[in-house]
Amino acid sequence: MPPSIVLISIDSLRYDCVSYQVQRPHLDAVGIADLPHTPHLDRFMEGSYAFTQAVATAPYTTTSHASILTGRIPTDHGVRSFMSSGLSPDVLLLPEMLAPLGYASMLMSDTTWLFRTVGLDRGFDDVTEDLEAARRWWQDHEHRPRLLLIHLLDLHDPYGFRKPSRALRSAELLDENVRWLDELEASMGALCEGASPRPARFERPRQVMRHARMLHSQVVSRASGLADGLRWYLKALERIDRGPLRWIVDWFGTDGVFDSSIVATFGDHGEGRDPMSNFRLGHSCAMFDDVIRVPLTVRMPGQRIEELSDPVPRPVHAPVCLVEEQCSLVDLVPTLLELAGGAELAEQQGLRRGPVGFLNGRSLLPAMSGRRMPVRPAYGEFWQRWKGRRNGRIIETLRQRTLRWPDRKLSLIGRDLRYGRELSELDTKAYILKLCSDLGGHPADDERRWNILIRWAARGGPITRRCLFWLFQQRAKSAPIPKAAIYDLVGDPLEAHPRREDCVRPRSAEYRRALELFERVDRHARPPSPLRGTRKEMFAVEDRLRDLGYVE
């Protein structure tokens, strides 16, 4: 019988908060030297192959989990934005790939609606928000190979306060959150002084969470906001370790899960600097390494550290075998399929074929056995949410995409527009037609589109180039961030300064090759960029100007 597979997804888990990670430049930069005490998280990783250079495909949950469960990059599986696009119907998820091998499957998440909304619950036999129900399901299917995905959202903002769900709507949850608030205020000490006073009594768990969010925003609004926010985050990780992670470890030990199953533990994305909020703590903001670099460990059934090739014991808690090869979370599916004896299924699903197949997943077993694998970049993209100025609709635009190598990262914000003439040389009609083409994906010579633009402009008053430039300048919150840059991750791991020769107008051979790759990816993307909602919202021209680079 094939081995059972357990996936432990800890939402917002940073790469440098696990004991096996040796280099922690992002924590060192804010003066945090001591890691949290997490013995139960270490238990999941003990005796594992630990990847020190694992990269997520997006800084938010839905897209990242779509890549984890399909082995494909966002342009291939279709879940590109946070909530505005769903899984393509012809792309299979991991439970659908394993079903021919006889696997039963369950999805356990604190927030199952995140998965249901974009179609990531497809193929799972059961879906629940209750850990106890997941344990009963595991015991009831002991005569079959099982796939269990456990997604824990406790570490997500507001950091340690459990969110109400169908399984957690009770007075016990309210008491649990209040006890954590008391503990947090006592441990943070002076950081909480001068903050808004807490209500005399909390009636519901969400009231505690709202108060915690307000308290956290006041803490990180101070001069040392990023460091204080990370200290709060690390204390929340300790609480989660002695809470749900301890419960799961006790369950796995009692039922012998560690001895009979493949256990993969990872974060779907990290938590780091938000450039849109003066570099406070957050995610879904940019593709910095503290946001897209994540922990990833794979543990074989009954694996012991002495059985691993070239083990590197860590001085703290969890002995692991370090794997320094860069990998992407899309590599997890091919690896699990090969371990489960279904490597041919990966070939059938085209994970290594197609126009951008080389960016999709590949098995990590060669790296786990000590062999070197060809170096290739890890692809990632970030869609930003905007609220329309006129009718308040939410639209999403492709804000940033990256290619990451172990030693460097290429970051491109917006799109690279290349015209035969400079924009300043175009007459008014040609200029607006070009705007129309790039904003809506319509042909530039479409006379009907020109008439629609004229009517749209008339509703908002006369629109001139000077007006558009002024709108852009007023709303360019991210102006200090280069539109295109190559960062040296070895000499500058914090990505503080791009390489000097690439700051102004990068046109190096590497940059041109990356642009050609992005164009190749876009030609076969599903859904194509921009999203359908963006095409309809022509009133968002001032927002899209920032992305499209019409104004430097």
The DSSP-derived string for 444-483 is TT-HHHHHHHHHHHHHT----HHHHHHHHHHH-TTTTS-S
Q: Which residues contact 505 (CB under 8 A, 6 or more apart)?
A: none
Instruction: pLDDT band for 469, please (50, 70, 90 cuts).
Output: very low
Across 227-241, 349-363, 490-504, least confident range: 349-363
Determine the pLDDT at residue 214: 78
Please check whether residue 294 is in contact with residue 23, taking contact to mean a CB–CB distance below 8 angstroms.
no
If one counts every other C-beta atom within 10 angstroms of the C-beta of residue 377, the result is 20
pLDDT at 399: 76
430 versus 479: the higher-pLDDT residue is 430
Hunting for tokens 């749900």 — which residue is that?
244
Per-residue pLDDT, 539: 42
Look at residue 191 in the predicted model and tell me its pLDDT: 62
Q: Is the pLDDT of residue 42 over 60?
A: yes
In which band, very low, low, confident or very high, does the pLDDT at 370 lie, cut at 50, 70 and 90?
A: confident
Query: Sorting pLDDT into bands at 50, 70 and 90, what band is 460?
Result: very low
DSSP secondary-structure letter at 320?
A: B
The pLDDT assigned to 473 comes to 41
Highest-confidence range of 47-51, 229-233, 496-500, by mean pLDDT? 47-51
Where residue 541 falls among pLDDT bands split at 50, 70, 90?
very low
pLDDT band of 200, cuts 50, 70, 90:
confident
Say which residue, 426 or 281, is predicted with more confidence: 281
CB 78 within 8 A of CB 84: no
**Span 180-193, pLDDT tens digits:** 888 877 777 666 66
Question: What does the block give as tokens for 121?
Answer: 């619950």
Answer with the residue of higher pLDDT: 278 or 287.
287
Six-digit token string for 422: 């400079």
Average pLDDT, the chain: 76
Confidence of residue 394 (pLDDT cuts 50, 70, 90): low
Among the listed residues 299, 320, 300, the one whose alpha carbon sits nearest the alpha carbon of residue 311: 320
Peptide bond into 527 cis (omega under 30): yes
More reliable by pLDDT, 350 or 134: 134
pLDDT of 194 above 80: no
Residue position matching structure tokens 């709507």? 169
Contact 330, 350 (CB under 8 A): no
pLDDT of residue 414: 61
Q: Return the pLDDT at 252.
A: 94
Q: Is 119 left (phi over 0), alpha (psi -120 to 50) or beta?
A: left
Q: Which tokens go with 410?
A: 């290429």
In 479-549, alpha helices (H): 509-523, 532-536, 541-548
The arithmetic mean of pLDDT across residues 38-67, rounded, is: 93
pLDDT of residue 206: 80
Indicate if the pLDDT at residue 443 is higher than 60.
Answer: no
